[in-house]
Every structure is written in structure tokens, then in C-alpha cells.
Amino acid sequence: MKPIVLSLLLVLGVLLGFAWMNGDVGNLGIKKATVAERVLYFEPTVDVEFEKEKEINLMINNSRAPVVGFKVEIQYDIKTTKVLGFEINKEVFDSLISSNIDENAGKVSIIANRKKNFEGLVGGVQKLATIRVLGIKKGTLRLGSEGLPKVTVFEAGKQVESVFQMQEFKVGIK
């Protein structure tokens, strides 16, 4: 009996050691994700409360050039989440070309750009839009891209279209 108990304690110790080395122990549940270049992502990564409204920012990381336009289609689960609305970052984008929230298909489409005055814009991390969501059922909120987002950057004095990746966003609805 003693060898079995000692073996279980040893396995438990090894598992805790690996968890501690990976930063899963002692960080109060907060994980800092590193965001790669040319990626769209959502923040903050905190839980959404059941039947409470939450704002989630759609962000982009591109240090090479400032973003002056974007087209994105975001999928969400209509069983757990309701998208109440969104607002583009008016400090960067002066024109909302097209927008749609399809509650039946669970899809949000946004096309926005900047039509004038590209001077003074800088690359790096930028907020594209803020999306307001409501947790309508306990479970998991998932936001992801339908297709690849298209992004327009201001590079070498001209607007250049490019394709970026989008990270899936997943948090609990409690």
C-alpha cells in the first residue's frame, strides 16, 4: 500500500511542477498572451457574466505600418451570446462603409476605412472596433473569423491591401 501512495504523490508532485513551470500556478488565473505581428485579436480576455453586457475590443498588431481600413466577418455562437452592437474606432477610421449583425447566422460584418489625412498615424497595436456582447446562456463565448480579414495599411505613401490572421477568442460565460 505504501508504494502506491508514494507513487501517486510523486506523480502529483511532477504534475504540479510542470504546471508551475508553465505559469499555470500562482498567477490567479490571468494569462498574458503574446500577440504576433499581422494578427487581429480580441481583448480583454476576461469572463463574461451571464445576462450582463460586456465590451470587447477588436485589436490589431502591425508595427510595420498604420492600419487605415479593414473588412472582417466575425462568427459567434447564437446559443450562448447575443451581439448588441459595435462601434468603430473613430480616432482612426472616419468612414463605416458597411456593417451588419445577422442574429440568425451568428455573424457580424464590418467594413471601415480612413478616407483622408493619413499623416501622423503610427503602426503597432491599434483598436479597430468595440463589440458589445451579452451572455445569454452559461457556457463558452467564442468569437472567430469567417474567412481571412482584409486589412488596408498606409505604407510608403500609399494604401496597400493585405490579408491578416485572426485569433479565435474564447472565454467563459459565468
Parse the chain into domains and list their residue ranges.
Answer: 1-32, 33-173
Output the pTM of the full model: 0.77
Nearest 5°: the CA angle 62, 66, 69 is 100
Averaged pLDDT in 10-residue chunks for the chain of 174 residues? 72 64 48 69 84 93 92 94 94 93 95 89 92 92 88 91 89 88
Q: Choose which CATH entry (3.40.50.10490, 3.40.50.720, 2.60.40.680, 3.30.450.20) describes domain 33-173.
A: 2.60.40.680
Residue 133's pLDDT is what? 93
**What are the φ/ψ torsions at residue 63 (nearest 5 degrees)?**
-75, -15
**What are the φ/ψ torsions at residue 27 (nearest 5 degrees)?**
-110, 15
Cell of 26: 500562482
